[in-house]
Amino acid sequence: MSIDKQLREELGQAASTMQVPPELYGRVQQSYQHYMNEKRGRSPMKKRMLVGIVAAVFLIPSAALAASYLADDIFGSSSTIEQRGATQEDYQEIEGMLQTAKGKLTKDEFKEYMNLLKQLMQLKLKITDKNGVKHEQNLTQKEQNQIEKLNSRLEFYFEKINGTAKP
Amino acid sequence: MNDKELIPWLEKAALGDESAFHLVYQATQQDVYRTIAFLVYNKQDIEDIVNEVYMRMWRSFHTYDSSRKFRYWLHGITIRQVQDWKRKAWRRIRLFERNRQMTIEQLEWTDKAVLKSEMQHELFCLVRQLSYKLRVVIILRYFHDYALEEIADILQIPVGTVKSRHHLAMKELRNRYEMTGGEMYVH
């Protein structure tokens, strides 16, 4: 047998014993999918970046809006009072009231007013059930005293706000 | 599946059709794997290169001239990926370790390769011991049946160089074969 022929035979036989590992398919397929995604411009990295940018775009105005909601400073969010029988309109009304107060009071006064109001609201929220019904009996003596105290201190501000509101 | 039947599937696969990809892979995997396994001996490396060959296939499909044989293009890519792999400097750091392992692997691999008798595969064992430059010519010539001109084109070297490497490889094989006691006619 010539060496040429023998080489062909032996190489052919050797080749037939070389089996492609089946797990290689998964790997090649993964590379393929990755390449195709990249080609379409939808690589996971790009996708993630895009999501990030979109999120940032949405976050900026909502952060700005949140800061302009005075009522949020007191209740956290509208859902706090909505859970207690109030509506979104009520919340807007409170917000309007607070905006008026901000315009009528000096900066320091307004700060104090907000602080007092917040304390009062926290107590009121505590005794208000989900239907908006108040249960004063749930308050301790100490808490009742606190409410009275807050009310009397707030009266000054209410008068100032309402007084100038109706000249 | 012949080349002509494969081309439309390749086009689809290159555009992202996954079932076409599956078909192309099934039709070509053995050819690609075996060609590489004749040239590179480490199993992990063979798999790495197979993966790179397919990546190259999708990336460069637009350069494929459909008037030429697909297998010829495929073998060109395969050989180039093997050469690239050999060129990568960082792999050379591991070369020493690999050479050490190769001796062991060679034995394991040869065990599997033996089909009928040891004598019948002696020549193949000798091919495996040739240097890469000589071996690649032998594989393309006697496994893929390419003419020396085509081999020169695939390897991107002058035909004269291919001829001299072919000559040298055959001379070495004959010498070693005779030394091990094999019989053959000198053509």
Delimit the domains of chain B by residue range: 1-103, 116-187
pLDDT of residue B19: 92
Q: In chain A, which residues have their Cβ closer than 8 Å to the Cβ of B177?
A: 3
ipTM greater than cut 0.95: no
Both tokens of B123, joined, read 């020549």
The residue of chain B with its CA nearest to that of A34 is B55
pLDDT at B28 over 90: yes
Can you tell me the mean pLDDT for A122-135? Answer: 77
Rounded distance between C-alpha atoms, residue A162 and residue A97, angstroms: 10
- Greater confidence, B83 or A41? B83
- Greater confidence, A54 or B116? A54
Q: What class, spelled out in words, does domain B116-187 have in CATH?
A: mainly alpha
Q: Predicted confidence band at A62 (pLDDT cuts at 50, 70, 90)? A: low
pLDDT of residue A57: 62
pLDDT of residue B100: 61
Each domain of chain A, given as residue ranges in start order, spans: 3-66, 70-162
pLDDT at B15 over 80: yes
Mean pLDDT taken over chain B: 83
Please judge whether B54 and A1 are an interchain contact, meaning their C-beta atoms are less than 8 angstroms apart.
no
Can you tell me the mean pLDDT for B155-180? Answer: 91
pLDDT of residue B186: 45
User: Fold for domain B1-103?
Assistant: Rna Polymerase Sigma Factor; Chain: A (1.10.1740)
Mean pLDDT taken over chain A: 78
Q: Looking at the complex, report in whole angstroms how far the Cα of residue B89 sits from the nearest Cα belonging to chain A.
A: 23
pLDDT of residue A3: 84
> Contact, B79 vs B136, CB < 8 A?
yes
Tokens 């085509």 found at: B150
Q: Predicted confidence band at B90 (pLDDT cuts at 50, 70, 90)? A: low
Q: Which of A62-76, B120-134, B161-175 has the highest mean pLDDT?
A: B161-175
Cα–Cα separations (whole angstroms), residue B2 to A17, A84, B7, B16? 22, 75, 9, 22
Out of B25, B58, B112, the one facing A35 most closely (by C-beta) is: B58
pTM of the model: 0.58
pLDDT of residue A45: 62
pLDDT at A137 over 60: yes
Q: Is A21 on the interface with B (CB under 8 A)?
A: yes
Phi and psi dihedrals of A2, rounded to 5?
A: -70, 155
Rounded distance between C-alpha atoms, residue A24 and residue A86, angstroms: 63
**Chain CA centroid to CA A133, Å:** 29
Q: Looking at the complex, report in whole angstroms how far the Cα of residue A30 sits from the nearest Cα belonging to chain B.
A: 10
pLDDT of residue B137: 96
